[in-house]
A and B are shown apart, each in its own frame.
Chain A
């Protein structure tokens, strides 16, 4: 399992750089993961990350687009503006959760 150092802390990741152990996540690590994607985190990003965190703890899965819209009150357009090219995947990574399972 790859290990890398983010914000001065070693963390375990999978091959695509998603954290394997959410307990290693904190806000500084989020900022470092965001920087890897070329994103500087602001209030808009944190609204998304906080929703993913709350929803994951309740449902055990990263919410999909429709759930972000309906339950999180975050329009798809905003998600693409905040996390360009695959917002769900990027937001999941920055929030320290696994890559969303491919749908069946």
Chain B
């Protein structure tokens, strides 16, 4: 009996467990899934909690309902991977040998990496919305908000779901209007990048939207510390941005276990072949989702597209064949823009987000890089799709792991790089 071991039961790990359980013979392979958590969280839902759009039960299910049938689940803390010995050590001292290992341990916000961030004001006037606890605390804080200076801030790149801070800003603008507090609230968007988003065409569109919504942008801001006593963030070149409420995205680090195992880079991301998803250091270790150092967005859609490639490649690997399936960096992101509307981005390693229709040319029905109510309904419907289709490993109609150029309006000078 051989063992396929998966570390991390988030989106990527759960999809892989289900997909491989369908493909690997039950008599020949045990699939073991390890995570420290008791519950599975729908992470895109955290964004909606502070605005009362989602409640706790929308985003949380017990693992017993999400772990695929035929998969052995262990709730445990991993101490380290001993890659040379093909073994994983748990913090309770036990060890699990593996034949093939999948690392799907994701990233975590690491506020302690910024001087002064977790002192004094943390979870009081300094918040984040990338964890269940953080989204809950911010929900409470908003209940007593009477106006002032709201600063939405990104510490450093890369971060999970790079559009989420913008969505948060747009949703906050709309919510404040509904509460009659928008005129009493100044919204400031502070980013270490030189613009609102990482990719040029989308950055232009989103910058215009920020302007329309009277949100000021402070670019090129590299945070050195939070000065909680003076309620300000301070940059390395001593610029100061005062806040009444700071909603920050802390640095995103991979799991500490990756560092303890000597498998990661300076951010604890695992160096990974960006096409095959095999770890660069060990042939029988594969990496998926936020845990990789692949140059695409850290996002659930990426994990989903990667899972199709990785399932095939693991079957190739087990059969002793070359890894023939190749990931192109495909990401597909809805951007909530407030008032029941949303944008949609579709891109990969080579093709930046552009305008057009999705998933079908001309027909759509969804608009790429344009604001529409249908895009928003798509995002809202996604929660159902996530729990009922995506996690169970069923395919999503019309949307494959390879990004399609159909329906995209590509500027002529870019066509050759996209081909």
Contacts and interface: CB of A to CB of B under 8 A. Distances in A.
A45 B21 CA distance: 55
Interface residues of B, number: 20
Contacts of B158: 103-104
A86 B157 contact: no
A64 B266 CA distance: 10
B193 interface: yes
B105 to A, nearest CB: 19
A76 B295 CA distance: 24
Interface residues of A, number: 18
Given A65-B222, A66-B156, A86-B220, A77 B266 contact: no
A65 B251 CA distance: 12
Contact of A67 (B222, B266, B296): B266
Interface of B: 156-158, 162, 193-194, 198-199, 220, 222, 224, 236-237, 251, 265-267, 295-297
A104 B297 contact: yes
B267 A104 contact: no
Interface string A67-80: 10111000011011
A84 B239 CA distance: 12
Nearest to B203: A102
A101 interface: yes
B183 to A, nearest CB: 35
B236 A66 contact: no
Contacts of B267: 66
Given A65-B222, A103-B198, A71 B236 contact: no
B318 to A, nearest CB: 31
A43 interface: no
* Residue of B198, B222, B297 with most chain A CB atoms under a 10 A cut-off: B222
16 contacts: A66-B156, A67-B265, A67-B266, A69-B266, A70-B266, A76-B222, A76-B236, A79-B236, A80-B237, A84-B237, A86-B220, A102-B193, A103-B193, A104-B162, A104-B295, A104-B297
Residue from A65, A69, A76 with most neighbouring chain B CB atoms (10 Å): A65
Nearest to A76: B236
B198 to A, nearest CB: 5
A85 interface: yes
B2 to A, nearest CB: 35
Contacts of A77: 224, 236
B193 A71 contact: no
Contacts of B297: 104
Contacts of B224: 76-77
Interface in A40-75: 64-67, 69-71
Please provide the 3 A-B residue pairs with the shortest distance between their CB atoms, ordered closest to farther. A103-B157, A80-B236, A70-B266
B365 to A, nearest CB: 27
Contacts of A76: 222, 224, 236
Nearest to A77: B236
A70 B113 CA distance: 13
A77 B236 CA distance: 6
B266 A85 contact: no
Given A66-B251, A85-B220, A103-B198, 14 more contacts: A65-B222, A70-B266, A71-B266, A76-B224, A79-B236, A80-B237, A85-B237, A86-B220, A101-B295, A102-B199, A104-B158, A104-B162, A104-B198, A104-B297
B193 A104 contact: no
Interface in A73-104: 76-77, 79-80, 84-86, 101-104
Contacts of A103: 157-158, 193, 198
